[in-house]
Amino acid sequence: MQPIISISNLSKTYANGFEALKNVSLDVRKGEIFALLGPNGAGKTTLINIVCGLVNPGTGSVRVGGHDIVADYRKTRSMIGLVPQELSMDAFETVFATVSFSRGLFGKPSDPAHIEKVLRSLSLWDKRKDKVMTLSGGMKRRVLIAKALAHEPEILFLDEPTAGVDVELRREMWAMVRGLRDTGVTIILTTHYIEEAQEMADRVGIISKGEIILVEDKDVLMRTLGKKQLRIELREPLAAVPTSLTSHGLDLAESGGMLVSTYDASADRTGITALFRDLAREGIAIRDVETRQSTLEEIFVGLLEERA
Amino acid sequence: MNIHAVRAIYRFEMARTFRTILQSIVSPVISTALYFVVFGAAIGSRIPEIGGVSYGAFIVPGLIMMSILTLSISNASFGIYFPRFTGTIYELLSAPVSHLEIVAAYVGAAATKSVMIGLVILATAALFVPLQIEHPLVMLLFLVLTSLSFSLFGFIIGIWADGFEKLQIIPLLVVMPLAFLGGTFYSIEMLPPFWHVVSLFNPVVYLVSGFRWSFIGAADVSVWTSLGMTVVFLLGCLAVTGWMFRTGYKLKN
């Protein structure tokens, strides 16, 4: 499938000499939710800002919907909606006016019915006559999203969309983002809440020190780089792992009250059956058993530590 | 052309004017009325006619021009500086809108306000002094050209400034003195020869002179020279704004 965003060998060095992006190549597929993860200063916002036209590109090329972002900036920018990290809005305007302004700015004729639809979808319709300055932080964040959606973009960039947002609103936003994806909008989000990426993303890209170090389907990433643990709570604590069980690679935790086995969940033979058989043979009584999948955050931190 | 964007920015800027109508329109009208009371009535009554008209009528074009210069600069500079200050400039820079369209919308709105205020001041002046306008079309031409030129100049200041202090420096320390020394309240013919020559290096002299010619048919310099200087200033400002957008000066990294 033709990618909706295609970034090739993109580099960017700022005037102060800081190399924000180093030969970045990345394709984003139409209709997916793509999460771009990276520590502070990794180059996430620079990458987004170049695609959206806020930062001049260095070398390399960026194509959106098959169009070059410099030569065909009108076409590419009209396809994109951007929700910035900062709550930047004209405080003295009403919600309806500021969202309508955004639609006009992006070259679309006035359409109060569409603005109403967007405001209703974000639970902002009741606030349409309120000035932006009177809204709470969470409401302002919704207004930013409404402004980005006012011109019916095909691509939506969300730069840290739920920063400073309470848990309830965050879940509402996740639902809204999924709803947008279902209507065919491609979504690229940066976030430092990795659970957000784990919850929503179809694919994940990890950027560090201006370089893309990994791009993978989230599920594949979790399966291949993630670890699964079997945690066995014992009725009586052990002083040490019996020698007859050393072949299972067990660790003793919780002051000897728990045996932990790390295994490959995708392997044909996990060794779990043999482990339980050997435990029974040793007469070790079990109180409880649980399995635990490593989180995207653990994978992310592991990858960054590998590269450090 | 993204006409919807130009219209959206223009309307947004005009709405700001009407939201702050006291500051935008009433305040300059009151200031100008005070000038007429002080210079036109109190002092002007002791000054003989200049160019065949009373002193009060003589200073009308200069006062209008002085107001237009300062208001055009402040309106346009604030119009583009405020989005930079609040961060909302991101939306403008990420929109499918050309540099020329951005300039046309912001400068067009600022110039519209200036022309409106110029006409309101003109109407206010008519309450204080008997007015004559010998060349109304030329008067309108100068009004529009000057408003556009100095709105462009203000737009440049709004991009250049990185604080509210810088936003005020050029209007207060450069433009206002040039306006006072540019023949607003006197004819430069009244100056000693040396200062007369020095005055000819002041661009405001040409604006005031040309504008005054459209009122009373007499001027310190040729009306064509005035027109030429105004157009040169306009083109110079256009060139600078073009360069600013091309390079992303203080707008993009």
pLDDT (mean) for A214-232: 79
Nearest to A185 by CA among A29, A73, A305: A29
Give the tokens for residue A187. 């979504």
What is the nearest CA distance from A68 to chain B, expressed in angstroms?
Answer: 13
**pLDDT value of position A301:** 75
Give the residue-averaged pLDDT of B37-50: 73
C-alpha dihedral sign at A156, A162, A165, A169 = positive
pLDDT at B151: 93
Q: Which of B5, B12, B252 sits opposite A56 (nearest CB)?
A: B252
Mean pLDDT (whole number) for B209-232: 87
Residues of B in contact with A106 (CB under 8 A): 4-5, 95-96
pLDDT for the residue numbered A6:
94
Check pLDDT > 80 for residue A192.
no
Find, among B219, B85, B87, the residue nearest to B142 by Cα: B219
A269: CB partners within 8 A, 6+ apart: none
Tell me what pLDDT residue B156 has: 93
Q: Is B94 on the interface with A (CB under 8 A)?
A: yes
Q: Indicate the pLDDT class of residue B7, thresholds 50, 70 and 90.
A: very high
- Could you say which residues from 42 to 71 on chain A have a Cβ atom under 8 Å away from some Cβ of chain B? 49, 52-56
In this model, does residue A105 exceed pLDDT 90? yes
**More confident call, B56 vs B210:** B210
Q: Give the range with max mean pLDDT: A51-55, A166-170, B180-184, B248-252.
A: A51-55
Give the dihedral of Cα atoms A150, A155, A157, A162; nearest 10 deg: 70
Among B6, B86, B94, most A C-beta atoms within 10 A, so best to mutate, is B94
Cβ atoms within 10 Å of A182's Cβ, excluding its own: 9
B169 φ, ψ (degrees, to nearest 5): -60, -50
Residues B191-204: tens digit of each pLDDT:
888 888 888 888 88
Q: Select the highest-mean-pLDDT range: A151-160, A237-246, A256-265.
A: A151-160
Amino acid B194: pLDDT: 83
User: Residue A1: is its pLDDT beyond 70?
Assistant: no
Is the model's pLDDT at A165 over the cut of 80?
A: no
Tell me, yes or no, if B246 comes closer than 8 A to chain A by beta carbon: no
* Both structure tokens of B17: 């004017």
Q: Which chain B residues touch A97 with a CB distance below 8 Å?
A: 15
Q: How far apart, in Å, are the Cα atoms of B179 and each of A102, B176, B206, B209? A: 39, 5, 11, 12
Mean pLDDT to the nearest integer, B180-186: 81
Q: Does the residue B236 lie in any domain?
A: yes
| Sign of the CA dihedral with A75 first, then A78, A83, and A87 last | positive
In the predicted structure, residue A304 carries a pLDDT above the cut 80: no
pLDDT at A171: 82
* Facing residue for A84 by CB, picked from B2, B11, B90: B90
CB-CB: which of B4, B11, B87 is closest to A109?
A: B4
Least confident of A227-241, A263-277, B147-161: A263-277
Range of the domain at B32: 3-247
Instruction: Supply φ then ψ for residue B200, to 5 degrees.
Output: -70, -15
- Assess A88–B contact: CB distance below 8 Å, yes or no: yes
Confidence band for B50, pLDDT divided at 50, 70 and 90: confident
Please give the structure tokens belonging to residue B96. 């499918």
Min Cα separation A113/chain B (Å) = 17
Average the pLDDT over each of A43-47, A101-105, A168-172 and give the range with the smallest value. A168-172
Strand order across the A59-64 sheet: A19-28, A5-13, A59-64, A67-68
Per-residue pLDDT at A226 exceeds 70: no
Predicted confidence band of residue A51 (pLDDT cuts 50, 70, 90): very high
Residue B117 lies in a domain: yes
Kindly tell me the burial class for residue A59, based on how many C-beta atoms sit within 10 Å of its own C-beta (0-12, 13-18, 19 or more).
Answer: exposed
**Which pLDDT band, with edges at 50, 70 and 90, does B215 fall under?**
confident
Average pLDDT over chain A, rounded to an integer: 87
Percentage of residues of chain B with pLDDT beyond 70: 98
Question: Which of B19, B86, B95 lies at the smallest CB-CB distance from A105?
Answer: B95
Query: How many other C-beta atoms lie within 10 A of the C-beta of residue A244?
Result: 11
Residue B252 lies in a domain: no
What pLDDT shows up at residue A81?
93
Section B18-24 average pLDDT: 75
The domains located in chain A, with CATH, are: 5-223 (3.40.50.300), 227-307 (3.30.70)
Q: How confident is the model at residue A268 (pLDDT cuts 50, 70, 90)?
A: confident
Band of the pLDDT at A266, cuts 50, 70, 90?
Answer: low
Checking if the pLDDT of A187 tops 90, the result is yes
User: In angstroms, how far is the first alpha carbon of chain B from the final one?
Assistant: 26
Spatial distance between the Cα atoms of B31 and B28, rounded to a whole number of angstroms: 5
At A167 the pLDDT is: 78
Quote the pLDDT of residue A188: 94
Residue B61 has pLDDT above 90, yes or no: no
pLDDT at position A308 is: 66
For chain B, what is the domain count? 1
pLDDT of the residue at B26: 80
Reply yes or no on whether the pLDDT at B157 is more than 80: yes
Worst-scoring range by mean pLDDT, A232-246, B33-47, B59-73, B79-93?
B33-47
